[in-house]
Amino acid sequence: MPDFRTLLRPAAVVDAERPEDIAARGNRRRLRVFILVLLPVLLLGLAYTFLRTPEYRAQARIAVKPAGIVADLPGTAGERATVSTTVTDAASASLQAEAGVLSSRPVIEAALAALRRQGVELHEFGVEPAQAVQAALSVEPVPDSNIISLAATGPYPEHLAAVLNALIEAYSSRLLDSYASASGGEIDALRQELSDLNRRLEDRRKALEDFRQANDIVSGERDENQVLARVKGLAASLNQANEKLAKAEGRVRSLRESIAAGKPVVRARDNPTLAGLESRASQLRESLGEIARTHTPQFMDMDPEARRLRSRLAEVEAQIGETRATAGQVSLTEAEEELATAREEQQTLQAQLARDRGAVHAFSRSFSTFKSMQEELAQLEASRSTLSERLLRTEASERSRMPSVQVIEAATAPLRAYRPDYARDAGISLAVAVGLALLAMGLTELFNRPPRPSMAPVIVPQPWIAVGRESTPPAVAAGLAPRIPAAGAPRLAAPTALERELSQEELAALLANLHVDDVAWAGLLLCGATLDEARSLSATDVDAAGGSVHLGGAAARELPVPAALFSRLQAAIQRTGDGVVLVPGADEELQRRLLCAAHDAGLDNPAAVTPGALRHTCIAHLVRQGLRFSDLDRVAGPLPADALAAYAELSPPGVRRSLAELQRFMPALDHIGRAAA
C-alpha cells in the first residue's frame, strides 16, 4: 500500500529525513504489504484445497480375444507370418471397437441389473445410475497388446470394485451371445459380397483407363504432364523476369536520386581516371598539410609554393566533380537500357502465359476428375483387401475364432483417495500467494519511489575498464585510437574500446576545480574539438559575431560554442594577444592537470579522466539523443568506422534527429564560469 503519510508531508520535511529512516520506513511498508496480501490469498487457496471431496479410483485389466482372431493358422512358415501380421493389425482395430462396446450403455445397464439381483443397492449414483457409471468409467486399450484397462472414479469407494467386476461379467456374456447369433451364414454372405466387389473393381479400372487415354493424361503426377510442365517453366521464367525488372527499376531510381542529390554515383576504384584524380588531390592535400605544420597561415598566404598547391588542388577537385558527373550519366543510360530490356522480356512471358492459361484450366479439370477416379479405385481395393482378410478369418475353425475374455486383474476396493493431491495443491497455493504478495509489494514500491532531484539531465555512463598510466599509451588516452598488436603477433581486428563517459554532475565538479588556464581547451573538447585542433587555434579563428570557432586541419569546420566558453576564449585572446596558446603543455602535462582536478572534485577513478574522455562524453551526449551519424562529422569531424560501430550501441531506437532538434551543449558547460582561479 502507498505510504500516504509521506505523500502528505511537505517536500522540505521529506527531504530532511535521514536515509536510514527512509529505508526503515520502506522496509516496514514492504513487510506490511507482503503479509496483507500473502495471508488472505494463502487462506483462500488452502480452504479451496482441503474442502474438496476426495475421489477414489478402482482399476481392473482384462485380455480380450475378439471373434475372428485365429490362434493357429495352417500353411508354411512364411504364409503364417504374413497372415499373422495382417491378423494382428485387424485385432488392434477390433480391440478399439471392443473397448467402445465395454463402455456402452447397454452393457452398463446389464451389469447394474446383475448387481440388483444380488441385492446391491447403488443409491449414490442418483436416479440415472447408468449415466453416472458411464461418466465415471474410463476404458482404454493397452497399445501393442490385447489388454483393456478399466477404471472407475467416484467419491464412494465401496461400490466401485463391484461395478467393474459386474461390468466385465456382462461384457463376456454379451460377446459370446453375439458370436453365437452371427456365426451361422456369415461365410456365405462374405463370399457373395467379395464377388460383387471384384466385379465393381474391374468396371472402375476400365473406366479410369478410358478416361486417361481420352484426355491425354500421361501420369498421375502433375509435373510429368506436358501442359503443366510448360506452364510451370513459363511461371518460373516470369518470376525471374519480374525480379530482374525490379532490380533494374531500383538501380535506375537510385542513380537518378543520387544524381539529383549531387551524390557520387561511380566509386573511384571502378573508374581509373577518377581514381587518378583523387590520388593527385590526396597528394596535394598532404603537401599543403606538411607546409601547414611548419608555417603559419599568414606565411602560407604569401608563399608562392603554397598558393600554387592550393590553386592546383582546386583545379583537380573541379576535374573530379566533372568526371563524377559524366560517369553518373553514363551509368544512368546503361541502367535505363537494362530496364527497357527487362520490361520487354516480362511482357513477352506474360503474353505466352496468358495464351496457355485456357489449356491449363481444361487440363486441370480433367486431371482433378482423374485423381478422384483414382481415389475411388483405391478405396474399392482397400475394401476388397479388408473383406478378403475378414473372409479368411471367418473360414478358420470355429473354435479358434471363438471370442474369449480373461480377467488379468480383478477390481478391488480402493483404500486411498485418487484425487485431489492435497500436498501438491497446498504447495501451489503457497507459491501463488507468495508470488502475488511479491507482485503487490513491487507495485507498491513503484508508486512510492522517492522524487528525483531537480537538476540537469543525467547521462548514465557505460561500463568501462580503468587502465593505468603505465599500460595506456598517450595516443590511446587522448581519444579513440585503435589497438596496435605487438611485433610478431597476428594483426586481428579488435573492437574499439570507448573512453570513460562522465555524468553531468562529474563534469560540473571537474570544471569547477580546473585551473583558469585549462578551462578553455577543456571546454573545446566538451564541444567536439580534438586536442590538436585546440592547440592550432588562433585569434582569427574566433568568430565574435557568430559565437563560434573555426577549426582547421583535415576536418575543417565551424564549431559553435556556448556563451560561457566563448567568454573564456575571448579572455584568453586578450590575455595572450594574437599568439593564443590555449593548451599549456604536452599531453602528459594536460593529463596530470586533469588528474589533479578530478581528484580534487572527488570523482571515482580519476586516472580514467583523460582529454579523450572529455571528447567522448560530448559525442556520447549527442548520440544518446538520437543524432544522425551523418551530422556527427559537423561536431567531431570524421570518425573511424570501428568507432562509429561502437557509438551505434549507445544510439536509442527510433528515427534519427538532426543537430537543430537536439540539446547540442551539455548542461554541465554552464558551470565553466565557476572554474577555480
CATH code for the domain of 628: 1.10.443.10
667 and 595 fall within a common domain: yes
Q: Tell me: the pLDDT tens digits for 10-30?
A: 433 334 456 677 778 888 888
The domain containing residue 118 runs over which residues?
56-187+387-409
Q: CB–CB of 500/613 below 8 Å?
A: yes
What's the pLDDT band for 3 if we cut at 50, 70, 90?
Answer: very low
Peptide bond into 461 cis (omega under 30): no
- How much of the chain is helix, strand and coil, in % rounded to 5? 65, 5, 30
Nearest alpha carbon to residue 460 among 501, 509, 497, 510: 501
pLDDT of 432 strictly over 90:
yes
Output the pLDDT for position 616: 92
Average of pLDDT values for 527-535?
A: 87
Output the pLDDT for position 13: 39
Nearest alpha carbon to residue 407 among 70, 167, 104: 167
What's the pLDDT band for 68 if we cut at 50, 70, 90?
Answer: low
175 and 287 fall within a common domain: no
Q: CB–CB of 55/155 below 8 Å?
A: yes
Q: Which is more confidently placed, 48 or 354?
A: 48
* Helical residues (DSSP H) of 295-303, grouped into ranges: 297-302
The residue to which cell 456365426 is assigned: 183
Classify strands 147-154 and 56-65 as parallel, antiparallel or unpaired: antiparallel
Identify whether 431 is part of a domain.
Answer: no
Highest mean pLDDT (candidates 136-150, 271-285, 320-334, 451-465)? 136-150
Identify whether 11 is part of a domain.
Answer: yes
C-alpha span between 334 and 639 (Å, rounded):
35
C-alpha span between 300 and 292 (Å, rounded):
7
24 and 140 fall within a common domain: no
Output the pLDDT for position 267: 57
Among 80-94, 149-163, 391-405, 526-540, the minimum mean pLDDT is found in 80-94
Where does residue 637 fall: left (phi above 0), alpha (psi -120 to 50 degrees), or beta otherwise?
Answer: left
Q: Which is more confidently placed, 226 or 47?
A: 47
341 and 396 fall within a common domain: no
Identify whether 102 is part of a domain.
Answer: yes
What's the pLDDT band for 355 if we cut at 50, 70, 90?
Answer: low
Identify whether 330 is part of a domain.
Answer: yes
What's the pLDDT band for 561 if we cut at 50, 70, 90?
Answer: confident
Cα end-to-end distance, the chain, whole Å: 53
Output the pLDDT for position 401: 64
Average of pLDDT values for 35-42?
A: 92
Among 49-53, 130-134, 351-355, 394-398, the minimum mean pLDDT is found in 394-398
pLDDT above 70 covers a percentage of the chain that reads 72
C-alpha span between 639 and 611 (Å, rounded):
16
Sign of the torsion formed by the C-alpha atoms of 238, 241, 245 and 247: positive
Among 53-57, 240-244, 574-578, 668-672, the minimum mean pLDDT is found in 574-578
Among 132-146, 205-219, 362-376, 466-480, the minimum mean pLDDT is found in 466-480
Sign of the torsion formed by the C-alpha atoms of 104, 105, 110 and 113: positive
pLDDT of 617 strictly over 90:
yes
- Non-local (6+) Cβ contacts of 193 within 8 A are 387
Q: CB–CB of 549/533 below 8 Å?
A: no
Q: Which is more confidently placed, 44 or 225?
A: 44
Output the nine-digit C-alpha cell for 349: 512471358
Q: CB–CB of 525/514 below 8 Å?
A: no
- SS3 of 640, please? coil
pLDDT of 496 strictly over 70:
no
Output the pLDDT for position 613: 92
Q: Which is more confidently placed, 77 or 259?
A: 259
pLDDT of 290 strictly over 90:
no
100 and 74 fall within a common domain: yes
Output the pLDDT for position 41: 92
Q: CB–CB of 54/420 below 8 Å?
A: yes
pLDDT of 414 strictly over 60:
yes
Nearest alpha carbon to residue 507 among 619, 620, 636, 603: 603
pLDDT of 466 strictly over 70:
no
125 and 257 fall within a common domain: no
Phi, psi of 463 (to 5 degrees): -60, 140
Burial of 311 (C-beta count, 10 Å sphere; 0-12/13-18/19+) = exposed
> Which residue(s) pair with 542 in the sheet?
549
Q: What's at 202, amino acid-wise?
A: E
Output the nine-digit C-alpha cell for 450: 522517492
Q: Which is more confidently placed, 467 or 546?
A: 546
Phi, psi of 137 (to 5 degrees): -90, 145
> Which residue(s) pair with 137 in the sheet?
152
Identify whether 208 is part of a domain.
Answer: no
Classify strands 147-154 and 404-409 as parallel, antiparallel or unpaired: unpaired
Angle at the Cα of 360 (from 358 to 365), degrees rounded to 5? 100
546 and 620 fall within a common domain: yes
pLDDT of 599 strictly over 60:
yes
587 and 619 fall within a common domain: yes
391 and 295 fall within a common domain: no
Task: Report the length, in residues, of the chain.
Answer: 677
Output the pLDDT for position 44: 93
Output the pLDDT for position 578: 61
512 and 629 fall within a common domain: yes
272 and 308 fall within a common domain: yes
Give the number of domains in the chain: 4
39 and 66 fall within a common domain: no
Sign of the torsion formed by the C-alpha atoms of 407, 408, 412 and 416: negative
What's the pLDDT band for 67 if we cut at 50, 70, 90?
Answer: low
The two counts, helices (H) then strands (E), for the chain are 24, 7
C-alpha span between 451 and 101 (Å, rounded):
73
Output the pLDDT for position 227: 59
Output the pLDDT for position 544: 75
Across all residues in the chain, what is the average pLDDT?
Answer: 75
pLDDT of 429 strictly over 80:
yes
Average of pLDDT values for 444-457?
A: 62
C-alpha span between 125 and 114 (Å, rounded):
16
Phi, psi of 290 (to 5 degrees): -60, -45
What's the pLDDT band for 125 if we cut at 50, 70, 90?
Answer: confident
Nearest alpha carbon to residue 173 among 101, 119, 117, 121: 101
Among 66-80, 167-181, 218-232, 529-543, the minimum mean pLDDT is found in 66-80
Q: Tell me: the pLDDT tens digits for 649-668?
A: 888 888 788 888 888 888 88
* Helical residues (DSSP H) of 447-542, grouped into ranges: 474-477, 504-513, 516-525, 531-535
Q: Which is more confidently placed, 191 or 114?
A: 114
Identify whether 149 is part of a domain.
Answer: yes
Identify whether 323 is part of a domain.
Answer: yes
Widest CA span of the chain, in angstroms?
Answer: 132
Output the nine-digit C-alpha cell for 508: 560540473
- How far are the Cα atoms of 146, 305, 421, 516, 577 from residue 299, in angstroms, in the given order? 109, 11, 96, 32, 19
Identify whether 424 is part of a domain.
Answer: no
pLDDT of 270 strictly over 70:
no
Instruction: Give the DSSP H or E segment for 434.
Output: helix 422-446
C-alpha span between 241 and 339 (Å, rounded):
11
